[in-house]
Amino acid sequence: MTFVWKFQCLCLYFLFVQRQVEGTWPSANSSAVQLLYLSQNITDITNIQSWYYQTRAMFYSAILLSHQYGITVGGEYLGWRLETTSGSPMNALRMTCEAVSTSNIVGIVGPSVSREAHVLAPFTEDIDIPIISYGATDPKLSDRIEYPSFYRTVPSDNDAALAMAKLFVRFNWTMCIIIYQNDEFGTGGVKALSDAFADSNITVTDTMIFDMTTLAIRGDLKGILTHSLARTVIVWADSTYATLILQSGLKADVVGPLFTWILGGDVALTDFNDTWYDRLVGILSISPVVGNLAGAPVNQTLLNDAYTIWKTYEPESFPGTANVDYYTLFAFDATWALIESFSRLCSNSNFSSCIGFTNTSFCFDRRALNMHSIFDILNTNTFLGVTGSVQFFTNTTDRINGSYYIVKNVQRFSKTLNFVPVLVSTGSADWTQHAEKNIIVWPGQSLTIPTGYASIHGVTLRIGVKETVPFAMEKEITDEYGNKKAKLVGYAVDLVYRLQEKMGFIANVTLIPQNVTYSSLPDLIVNDQFDVIVGDITILAVRREKVSFSESIFDNTLRLIIRKKTSESYGRFAFLKPFPVILWIMIALVVLWSALLIYFYEVRHAELRKKPVISRIGMSIWYAIGTLIGYGVDFQAKTSPGRILTSGIYVVSVVLIAAYQATLTAKLTLSQSQDFIAGIDDIKNGKVPYNRIGILVGTSIEDYFLREITGGSRNYYPLTTKEDMYEKLLNKVIDASIM
């Protein structure tokens, strides 16, 4: 019964307000030519100063002001027809169809939303009448070829996206999350934002959809926002839906102080419970604004005259000059653009000869005749409106220039919340401080500009450090009471505590033992055992698929480790190694042949004749050997052939001794300094058998060895720790390892 009573009271109040608000405006249904005004229904019907009543009042005021100025269409004063849509494109089409069928509609002011404009613009093209929107901002509607009869006085979302990107640049924000409604306005806005942000190197980390059917956000709002790196949230939705999105954020505890929310327009702050006021402080809204707030000229006389008419016929809906909704002024300029254009169309003829209508009641067959030139007039007409200069062009449906934006900041004043203007911008200029020079109060009542990314101040982080020298290891220390305990030391440990000091998080550091492989470290984070792991962990593509890496904090290289070379022992015949065996054989043959020739050449030598044959042969051999090694002999060659042979032996002696000495020196030097492998190329070339190469399993080195050397074959010697590596090398189980 209580619900029924409240519902009845609400209906009576609505009827009373509607009658009270509408009853004072003069009737314009009798006019021979009319403009159709389309406005979307609102939920807060009790607030007679809402934008719904404001825009309607300014539409009425514009037409009545044209009467006051004596502006006619072929001698006929313009009339009006008002239709309220539900936000559904088909409903808007039905209402428009009915109005066109029963009235002499020559132009349409509206609709206020993009999803309705996408349907109505092709319809008006078909029936050959212009339509000017004061609230449809979807960038797709800018296409003049696709929408030849469509115009709008409100800036496109492309301009809004550019202004938003400049706002991010001003505050050095580099990432954001976007929540948008699932219609043309939402999807078009997200695309415009993404394009503008890409040009400014701003990352959209996540997007979420607000379902207009279920009136709920798809997905886990709290989970996505809290796990995202971004802390700036953009809400791209109509005022009604933006309110519901904010209420969902408040319930999920993601509105202030850690998150900065930016709305695509103002919302009714009275829709929120006062227990949420402190958390709403710091919210920003960005919306199109009239030119005078950005230092551009406006037609103040026209505006004052319109306000006078408004206050005369509907004073209860007039919120005061400073509180008039900007879309209300866009609606006035849309209406005035049609008024001026139609007055020029029929300036030299009466209405009946200027404009005619086909005699049919079916809206799709009804046509306004002789209206083709109205579009040329609209494309060339320029006037100073109440929002700034209004001018259209043949290549786009958007107005030329006249794009101004304002940023407002939600601030608390005692027991109330208000949107306070803080920044203004034009479509091509950067943001500047508002004339009132208000400061921005950020979430949490802070005056410090948020960083825009997740802060971990005061957050406990489970940090793992991989046990490896010199990065992390346990050291036994004695405390002041004489008790011995283990303490974590090392470069990685020092880095963690240094970051804790600078960033303010609480570090819960745990040593990860050596038997845990490097390849399994990412899984420890994936399985929620640690939040962060610090250590000498190589960045690999397969690991990036699981976790994110910071910038590298130290450089590393692959190194071969082999046993240290011991002193080489030499055998009793090591002196023969400088020359190969074949050379020694040839030297022996040279000696024997030289001895034989000496024997025959010097047989008549006095000293040789006195000795037996065996002795003579021995003396000849001794002569050849002594001459070859430069030692000298007991007798001299007396014959010419003997002397020539001796000279030849001397030459051979010099060459052989020099070569022997150089080769012996080189071999001795290299044997003391050269290892049996010089680098990784020797490993690739198979100089060491693969089963004699030790590889630490579960490391990036294993991945490298399999990829670059063995082609995936695991024919190496597996090692588990560095100590195992050293032991196997010293025990000659392996010949080399990579580390």
- Same structural domain for residues 211 and 287? yes
At 111 the pLDDT is 95
The pTM of the full predicted model, rounded to 2 decimals, is 0.65
> Which residues form the domain of 691?
680-738
DSSP E strand boundaries for 473-566: 473-478, 484-489, 506-512, 532-534, 560-562
Backbone angles phi, psi at 46, to 5 degrees: -80, -15
Q: Encoding tokens for residue 285?
A: 């809204």
- Residue in 75, 19, 72, 27 with CA at minimum distance from that of residue 45: 19
CATH number at residue 175: 3.40.50.2300
Q: Is residue 193 part of a domain?
A: yes
* Domain finish residue from 362, 391, 420: 391
- C-alpha dihedral sign at 142, 147, 151, 154: negative
| Pure H helices in 487-551 | 491-503, 521-526, 541-544
pLDDT (tens digit, 9 = 90+) per residue, 600-629? Answer: 766 665 565 666 767 767 777 777 777 777
Q: Is residue 70 part of a domain?
A: yes
pLDDT (tens digit, 9 = 90+) per residue, 353-381? Answer: 888 888 778 888 887 777 888 999 999 99
pLDDT at 227 over 90: no
Which residue do the tokens 């960083």 mark?
451
State mean pLDDT over 702-709: 79
pLDDT at 548 over 60: yes
Helix (H) or strand (E) holding 177: strand 175-181
| Residue 455: other Cβ atoms inside 10 A | 13
pLDDT at 410 over 50: yes
Please give, one letter per residue, the 3-state secondary structure of 602-668: CCCCHHHHCCCHHHHHHHHHHHHHHHHHCCCCCCCCCCHHHHHHHHHHHHHHHHHHHHHHHHHHHHH
At 17 the pLDDT is 43
* Domain finish residue from 555, 585, 619: 555
State mean pLDDT over 239-249: 95
Q: How confident is the model at residue 631 (pLDDT cuts 50, 70, 90)?
A: low
Q: Is residue 399 part of a domain?
A: no
141 or 21, which is more confident: 141
Least confident span in 5-9, 73-77, 172-176, 653-657: 5-9
Backbone angles phi, psi at 232, to 5 degrees: -115, 125
462 or 565, which is more confident: 462
Least confident span in 52-56, 207-211, 553-557: 553-557
- Same structural domain for residues 199 and 170? yes
State mean pLDDT over 701-720: 82
Query: DSSP letter at 521?
Result: H
- Same structural domain for residues 477 and 378? no
Query: How many alpha carbons lie under 13 Å from residue 326 in its C-beta half-sphere?
Result: 24
pLDDT at 110 over 80: yes
Residue type, 189: G
Helix (H) or strand (E) holding 466: strand 460-466
At 587 the pLDDT is 76
- Same structural domain for residues 131 and 195? no
- Same structural domain for residues 288 and 298? no
626 or 315, which is more confident: 315
pLDDT at 532 over 60: yes
- DSSP assignment of 261-274: EEESS---GGGS-G
Q: Encoding tokens for residue 569?
A: 């022992």
Percent residues over pLDDT 90 in the chain: 46
- Residue in 330, 283, 266, 284 with CA at minimum distance from that of residue 431: 284
State mean pLDDT over 50-56: 88
State how far the Cα of 645 lies from the Cα of 661, in Å rounded to an integer.
Answer: 24
Collapsed DSSP state (helix, strand, coil) of residue 680: helix
* Domain finish residue from 673, 693, 713: 673
Q: Is residue 269 part of a domain?
A: yes
Q: Is residue 615 part of a domain?
A: yes
Count of domains in the chain? 5
Mean pLDDT for the chain overall: 85
- Residue in 234, 241, 188, 185 with CA at minimum distance from that of residue 210: 241
CATH number at residue 657: 1.10.287.70
Which residue do the tokens 């899984």 mark?
523
Q: How confident is the model at residue 8 (pLDDT cuts 50, 70, 90)?
A: very low
At 47 the pLDDT is 65
311 or 30, which is more confident: 311
pLDDT (tens digit, 9 = 90+) per residue, 252-271? Answer: 999 989 899 999 999 989 89
State how far the Cα of 709 lies from the Cα of 695, in Å rounded to an integer.
Answer: 12
At 15 the pLDDT is 42
Q: Is residue 237 part of a domain?
A: yes
| Pure H helices in 200-290 | 221-227, 239-251, 277-280
- Same structural domain for residues 591 and 664? yes
- Same structural domain for residues 204 and 285? yes
User: Is the distance from CB of 466 to CB of 536 less than 8 angstroms?
Assistant: yes
State how far the Cα of 231 lies from the Cα of 226, in Å rounded to an integer.
Answer: 8
Percent residues over pLDDT 70 in the chain: 88
- Same structural domain for residues 82 and 225? no
User: Is the distance from CB of 166 to CB of 142 less than 8 angstroms?
Assistant: no
Q: Is residue 422 part of a domain?
A: yes
Q: Encoding tokens for residue 400?
A: 């030329």
State mean pLDDT over 634-641: 69
293 or 181, which is more confident: 181
State how far the Cα of 398 lies from the Cα of 537, in Å rounded to an integer.
Answer: 55
CATH number at residue 707: 3.40.190.10
Q: Is residue 204 part of a domain?
A: yes
pLDDT (tens digit, 9 = 90+) per residue, 475-521? Answer: 888 777 778 888 888 888 999 999 999 888 899 999 988 888 888 88
